[in-house]
Amino acid sequence: MTGQERQTDLGPAAGGDAPVFAEPWEAQAFAMVVHLHDRGAFTWQEWAACLSDEIHGDVERSYYAHWLRALEKIVAVKGLAAPDALTARKRAWQEAAARTPHGHPIALDDPPEA
């Protein structure tokens, strides 16, 4: 395996045939950050600082788990969603995942109420 094909704990290396995202949620979290930045919700410098804080925190997570936690934090700090709404959405997602048969897409019925 060459350096271009390996994936590190802090994210995928460029090149090779390996997918950039191991799971669909990783791509979705990535896309949400890009979308929010494009809409002016935060600067790249703010995002980089938030992600860096997550990566250099005390908890070991995969790269995109850090990415997701940083996204949750910056959304809360910027007031883009109420903390109760984020908690309710996370709970609804977990409940939907628990009742979805393996191999089927997870679908949320209606947005949860906070």
Model confidence over 25-67: pLDDT tens digits? 899 999 999 999 999 999 999 999 999 999 998 788 899 999 9
Mean pLDDT for all residues in the chain: 83
Residue 24 confidence class, pLDDT cut points 50, 70, 90:
confident
The answer to whether 21 touches 7, Cβ cutoff 8 Å, is no
Q: How far apart are CA 88 and CA 93, in angstroms?
A: 9
% residues pLDDT > 70 (the chain) = 82
> Taking residues 94-110, what's their average pLDDT?
84
Residues 6+ apart with CB under 8 A from 31: none
Which letter, b or e, does each residue of 15-32 get, where b requires 16 or more Cβ atoms within 10 Å of its Cβ? eeeeeeeeeeebeebbee
Could you give the 3-state DSSP secondary structure of residue 7? strand
Q: How far apart are CA 10 and CA 45, in angstroms?
A: 19
> Taking residues 90-113, what's their average pLDDT?
80
